Structure 1
Amino acid sequence: MSVGAPVVQWQDRLGLGEGIRVVDGRIVLVDILTGRLLAGPADRTAPLTELAGLSDPLGAVAPVHGRPGHWIAAAGTGICLITPDGCPEWLGRPEDGAATPMRMNDATADPQGRFWAGSMAYDAVEGAGSLYRVGHDGTVARVLDGLTVPNGPAFGADGTVMYLADSAKGVIRRYPVDPDSGLPGAPDTFAVFDGGSPDGMTVDVEGGLWTAVWGTGTVHRYRADGTLDRRIRLPAVQPAGLCLDGDTLYVTSARHGLAAPGPLDGAVFAVWVGVPGPPASAYRPGSAE
């Protein structure tokens, strides 16, 4: 299937744009190292709007079910709730006191309403990262360790399959997940990258997995069997996060780490791809219903 040409959205050029979602018909995203939660106004030539600003790096958020204006966030060394006034309420800071300085990275809610977030060392020490899961009761539990730069995760429609990238290893793994306990099983290797690093991911309604490929200026789509289906080229070297809104793919990018960033590095792009994605899941505190 053919795709459209990438179109720049909004005026901003982000340092490390990530965690892009569609929430209640609005695009939200983060600029990780500046700790900003941003929203995209309907006027795509305008600047992004700041919803909250934290003093810690902000990896990604999910909306909180039944609480308009509230977010659960992977931030700093742990997980917090962000209230409408922008103040963080910490559920846990499991990476406090780690042997090497750590921060939270990408995160998402699953279809059962749990929140999953990865951690990484600032200098990407091999094996220092973990994957955490926040239950409906707000408990933060480590479910995987030995990761280096975890990205995603992304879940299938029923929450029984989880895709998790370890960007530093150039691999995406696929895990079975028990939907009742929220425990991941033994993974298989879904995709391996010889060049570039898999970063943010999302699953479409056909079961295809989309991933931004950092360092290559491309986005890949894989069929459910792991076959590479499409490759989209962007005018930015470091695509980082992505989401589907209807049959349009939105992609963030980053200027961070580039010695001589180009004019579109750090921009947000929209590309018509002809296949929709499901709505972003919300974190559901107190109940699995």
Structure 2
Amino acid sequence: MTFTAATVTVVVGGWYELAEGGRWVDGRYVYVDILAGRLYELRDGTGASDPRQLAQIDVPLGAVAPVSGEPDVWIAAAGTGVALLTADGALEWLDRPEDRTPVRSRMNDGVADPAGRFWAGSMAYDGTPGAGSLYRTDPDGTVVRVLDGLTIANGPAFSADGTTMYLADSAAGTILRCRVDPVSGDLSGGPESFVRLGDGEGSPDGMTVDEEGCLWVAIWGAGEVRRYHPDGHLLHTLGVPAPHPTSVCLHPTDHRLYVTTARPGVPDPITASGAVLTVPVPVRGTAACSWRSRS
């Protein structure tokens, strides 16, 4: 199949400042508008382009994952930490580690892994180099700083068996690969460089792994989505009609890719910026994993 911008459809157009965190959950596509603190869904199979707002909070909402056994409850990378989020917008904070950092920061993208842990990154509002971290929330609700010295932590994305994690440091133009102990959640050795983008190539943003184990990456600033083989070589490049794609999500049964985009820094933004896009692709993804609480 040929990847061309002509195959891209705008599903929800131009409503959002910073749409992000797209995930497939229980027959619906779930995503956030980070700075507005809003969580949305699009139902599968309805053909409707009108999203439904699931929750709104008064702090930035970086990403969510479903909580196992608790419908309409989410674990959220929000504000300065990690919280449980209910449909009425109530937050039950598990920890707010970014309150204890020297620069004003917020949580960013996050995802649950196949073992039921929740991983989320952070960043400084002013982009201070090295101010970002990666956190892991264990099933008992403990929030652990796993990596620091990042600038804008994005992703992460996991292989199907949970033993490989990909993590983007967007400001550095780097995608890291980490080996994860699926039992403890500890990293086995330090992160290794998986892909490094050159000057002018854009920045890696949200990511997902497909059914063949290949990594899809939204490339902020380049208007591209890229697909990489597990050995790191570039397989495909898909152009999208917006300069700032932010997240990618593959439908688990249909051959569709969902892409969120953003408007910041875009002069005279068009409908495809701050939007949800879809495009047919030759592979499928997997449904989002849940955070499995033991509390």
The aligned counterpart of 1:33 is 35
- Structure 2 distance, partners of 1:178, 1:234, is 36
The aligned residue for residue 217 of structure 1 is 223
Q: Judge conservation of contact 2:163–2:180 (CA < 8 Å) in 1.
A: yes
Distance 2:147 2:100 in 1: 19
Residues 207-248 of structure 1 show CA distances to partners (whole Å, capped at 9, x for unaligned) of: 100000000100000011111000000010100011000321
Q: TM-score, normalised by structure 1?
A: 0.96
Aligned match of 1:183: 186
Cα drift, residue 84 of structure 1:
2.8
Q: Which amino acid aligns with 2:258?
A: Y
How far does residue 189 in structure 1 lie from its aligned partner after superposition? 1.0
Question: What residue number does 1:2 align with?
Answer: 2
Distance 1:87 1:252 in 2: 25
> Does the 8 A contact of 1:62 with 1:282 survive in 2?
yes
Q: Quick check: 1:11–1:48 contact (8 Å CA) kept in 2?
A: no
Would you say the 8 A contact 1:10–1:45 is kept in 2? no
- SS of the residue 1:284 aligns to: coil
The amino acid across from 2:217 in the alignment is T
The CA deviation at 1:149 is 0.3
Equivalences for residues 71-110 of structure 1 within 5 A: 71-110=74-113
Amino acid at match of 2:128: V
- Matches of 1:30 and 1:40, distance apart in 2: 11
Q: How does 1:13-24 map to 2 (within 5 A)?
A: 13-24=15-26
Does the 8 Å CA contact 2:14/2:273 hold for their aligned counterparts?
A: no
Amino acid at match of 1:259: P
- 1:273 equivalent in structure 2: 281
For the Cα contact (< 8 Å) 2:13–2:272, is it kept in 1?
Answer: no
Do the aligned partners of 2:24 and 2:286 also contact (CA within 8 Å) in 1? no
Structure 2 distance, partners of 1:24, 1:276, is 16
Aligned Cα RMSD in Å? 1.3
Paired residues for 1:49-128 under 5 Å: 49-128=52-131
Q: Deviations over 1:92-121 (max 9, x none)?
A: 000114211100000000000000000100
Shift, 1:261, TM fit: 1.6
Deviations 1:130-187 (A, max 9, x none): 0000000000110100000010100001100000000000010100001111011322
Deviation at 1:29, TM superposition (A): 0.2
- Distance in 2, matches of 1:86 and 1:139, equals 22
How many percent identity over aligned positions?
Answer: 55
Q: Match for residue 252 of structure 1?
A: 260
Q: Is the 8 A contact 1:12 1:47 kept in 2?
A: no
Q: Is the 8 Å Cα contact of residues 55 and 86 (structure 2) preserved in structure 1?
A: no
Structure 2, unaligned runs of 5 or more:
none
Secondary structure at the residue paired with 1:95? helix
Amino acid at match of 2:192: D
Aligned residue pair count: 287
Which amino acid is 2:28 matched to?
R
Q: CA deviation at 1:3?
A: 3.8
The one-letter amino acid of 2:102's match is: A
